[in-house]
A and B are shown apart, each in its own frame.
Chain A
Amino acid sequence: MRSSVIVFPGSNCDRDIGVALEKMQFKNQMVWHKETRLPKSDLIVIPGGFSYGDYLRSGAIAGKSLIIDEVIKAANSGCLILGVCNGFQILTETGLLKGTLLRNKNLKFINKDVQIKVLNNETKFTNKYKEEQILKINIAHNEGNFFTDPLHLEKLKNENLIAFKYCDEKGNINENSNPNGSLENIAGIFNDKKNILGMMPHPERMIDEIISNKDGVNLFSSLLS
């Protein structure tokens, strides 16, 4: 499977996710944002970081860069797109995913391992996880507070487009297990066709027991299957 990681000035998780993809046997290429052509890809990854120093709004400037037109074309023709952290913010700024990420409710940058629950395991991104499986995954963001309009929220629920929700170790989804104030504890969502996933937690940081755990591995192996 061929993957491309888009790199912006200020991206800082691009190499991590590149390493994760190669470890999982993807044929990966890094693509600079000024490129106007994408290499043939089955998966495009928008990585985490602070593209353009979060100027204007997180992801706003990167969302208008040259390569993004190609990413939008690829997405519309069914290519799989994964946006992690700043990548999720960028996807909302391009309009590929609806909603937005507001400043964390407590106004603090949060960097810690949290629990998330797999809500939909019947997608190309999550099919190797069990339904309602609880994962321990790192989050590291200042703007991760998911917000959207009531109509979109209904649609997310009715069409099973919520990928992950923040929960506690026992799987309880409530205000206490919500690290950043996200609407209904939402940590990741799909688009209508479920070929695009945006998520705040970092699966690429959870692929090796030596430094963390392997809870992120199945996201990549789902894509391979």
Chain B
Amino acid sequence: MKFSVTVTLKKDVLDPQGKVVQNTLINMGMKNLKNIRQGKHFEIEVDENELSSAEKKVDEMCKKLLVNLIIEDYKINKI
């Protein structure tokens, strides 16, 4: 079973990289750009048949290593 995990900085945490990317795009003429937040993307394959237990495993991976819960949020999607 395959999952995608998207990790982003929490709303209140400053994202200087996102800001630089945003400013560059605006300078390139992308006038309607409102906001950019940069994040990370993981594709994870687990050897499980049941959706709920597979999701649980991926969630554990996020909490234990992939995500720093102090500053980051994450979303898990089945792909």
Contacts and interface: CB of A to CB of B under 8 A. Distances in A.
Are A and B part of the same complex?
yes
Interface residues of A, number: 17
Interface stretch (B14-22, B28-36, B48-56): B14-22
Nearest to A57: B68
A147 B70 contact: yes
Given A107-B17, A147-B13, A100 B66 contact: no
Contacts of B70: 98-100, 147-149
Interface in B36-68: 65-66, 68
A181 B14 contact: yes
B71 interface: yes
A31 interface: no
A68 B16 CA distance: 31
B72 to A, nearest CB: 9
Contact of A100 (B17, B65, B71): B71
Contact of A102 (B14, B65, B66): B14
Contact of B16 (A93, A98, A105, A148): A105
Q: In the A-B complex, list the 4 residue pairs whose CB atoms are closest, starting with the nearest.
A: A100-B70, A107-B16, A100-B71, A100-B68
